[in-house]
Amino acid sequence: MDHTALSLIELGAVFFALGVLGRLAGRIGLSPIPLYLLGGLCFGSGGLIPLTDIGDFTHLASEIGVVLLLLLLGLEYSAAELFTGLRRSWTAGLLDIVLNAAPGAAVALLLGWGPIGAIVMAGVTYISSSGIIAKVLGDLGRLGNRETPVVLSILVFEDLVMALYLPILTAILGGVSLLGGLEAVGISLLVITVVLVIALKFGRYVSALVDSDDREVFLLKILGAALLVAGLASAMQVSAAVGAFLLGIAVSGSTAHNATRLLEPLRDLFAAVFFVVFGLNTDPKSIPPVLGWAVVLAVATTLTKVGTGWWAARRQNIGKLGRARAGAALVARGEFSIVIAGLAVTAGAVDGELAALATAYVLLMAVLGPTAARVVEPIAKALQRKRKPPAEPEPKTEAAKTEADSQPVTGS
């Protein structure tokens, strides 16, 4: 069969299968990410039907997917909101790093993956999935709850940490020297600072530059700007994903809102391809040997995320039920964890089992996160009812006694 025809057939089958999986995920109330990863495992190396003719397209599409994921995440925040969130959440953010990065790093060292593997796995277990969490909070009608700003502040802090972590990770994976690594970090800090200042002081000009009343023109300008900035950031040894995130922060107001609505379908399409490609690059046979460690990490980091959310909400004088909801909301891991593992695997600087562990871990957490957010409230309420002592009967008033005494006596 002609190569082009075979490529179109394979690509069409992948997109259609993704649609079916997404519909199934919606029916059962889960994020589609685990099903996309499973789809990639089924059709990748060692899977049921390996796909071999769409590798070039899917590789580039997955890179665009990461750029769009981070761009739309940046569009959710203004620079002022980032600074406000940082001021509110920096103590909880530091606790979040300590509690949730340590388990991943410890397991990597136990498995003999060395310092690089430890740094990669620390990032995989640390970062929550903003996309999954935002969707779950919206689906459950909790966006207006008192604890939700606490959750969002921690997510903002995590995004800022990622803006520093990803360039450092990229430099380490590239095998640069200590001086080169410090130079890369310095450049990334400088770029991030300049972009944040531009976003804070001149964001309206950036918005005006990409804005347009014509949807087609607007789409071409915002998408072109995102890919251009991502490419330039990558050339300056700053992560392309971080470059897209910073561009999203610089665009604000109605322009950011319109850009989000316009780009969401593209993001969903290319992000789905990204998750599938990660699954394609992971041999399913490599998962069973690390599945036990994935379960250990899932249990440990579920408890640490719940603890982080509980502590942060308590500092804001939120009740126990709100603290439990805040902790459960932070459990989900997803796109960022896969981005981090994907960078490490692409660079070839880590053990091949790391991709399998990251895949199994994200599969578990992407299912466990939304489930925990849904069941935590009824469970917490049931525990409260169990612990609450039965109310003593109120003493009758004289009027009540008189009324009771005046009732006729029934019976034999």
CB 242 within 8 A of CB 162: yes
Rounded Cα–Cα distance for residues 144 and 134 (Å): 12
Q: What is the pLDDT along the chain (412 residues), one digit of tens a residue?
A: 677 787 788 788 888 888 888 888 888 777 787 788 777 777 766 555 666 656 677 778 878 887 887 788 778 777 676 677 667 778 888 999 999 999 999 999 999 888 888 999 999 999 998 767 877 777 777 867 888 888 878 887 887 787 778 777 877 777 766 566 667 667 767 777 777 777 777 778 888 888 888 999 999 999 999 898 888 877 776 667 777 877 888 887 888 889 988 888 888 888 788 777 777 767 778 788 999 999 999 999 999 999 999 999 998 888 889 999 999 999 988 777 888 888 787 777 676 788 889 888 988 888 888 888 888 878 877 776 776 665 555 555 554 444 444 444 444 3
Count of CA atoms in the C-beta half-sphere (13 A) of 401 = 5
Residue type at 160?
L
Helix, strand, coil shares of the chain, percent, nearest 5, are 80, 0, 20
pLDDT of residue 22: 84
Query: What is the secondary structure of 380-406 as a DSSP string?
Result: HHHHHHHHSPPPPPPPPPHHHHHHHHT
The DSSP string of 15-31 is HHHHHHHHHHHHHHT--
What's the residue count for the chain? Answer: 412
How far is residue 105's CA from residue 267's CA, in Å, rounded to a whole number?
31
For 405, other C-beta atoms within 10 Å of its C-beta total 7
Separation between Cα atoms, residue 64 and residue 274, nearest integer Å: 8
Taking the CA atoms of residue 159, residue 333, residue 251 and residue 183 in that order, the dihedral angle to the nearest 10 degrees is 40
Residue among 311, 291, 294, 295 nearest 99 (CA): 311
Fold for the domain defined by 10-385? Na+/H+ antiporter like fold (1.20.1530)
d(CA 59, CA 273): 9
Closest of 83, 138, 142 to residue 313, by C-alpha = 142
Burial label for 303, CB within 10 Å (0-12, 13-18, 19+), is: middle
Calpha distance 58→280 (Å, rounded): 10
H-type alpha helices, 236-287: 240-250, 253-280
Contacts of 360 (CB under 8 A, 6+ apart): 287, 290, 291, 294
Torsion of CA 256, 262, 265, 269, to 10 degrees: -80
Q: Which two tokens stand for residue 355?
A: 């991709």
Q: Are 221 and 210 in contact (CB under 8 A)?
A: yes
Measured CA to CA, the distance from residue 165 to residue 146 in angstroms comes to 30
Class of residue 308 by CB neighbours under 10 A (exposed 0-12, middle 13-18, buried 19+) = buried
Helix/strand/coil for 334: coil
Domain ranges of the chain: 10-385
DSSP notation for 105-159: HHHHHHTT-HHHHHHHHHHHHH---HHHHHHHHHHTT-TTSTTHHHHHHHHHHHH
Q: How far apart are CA 53 and CA 51, in angstroms?
A: 6
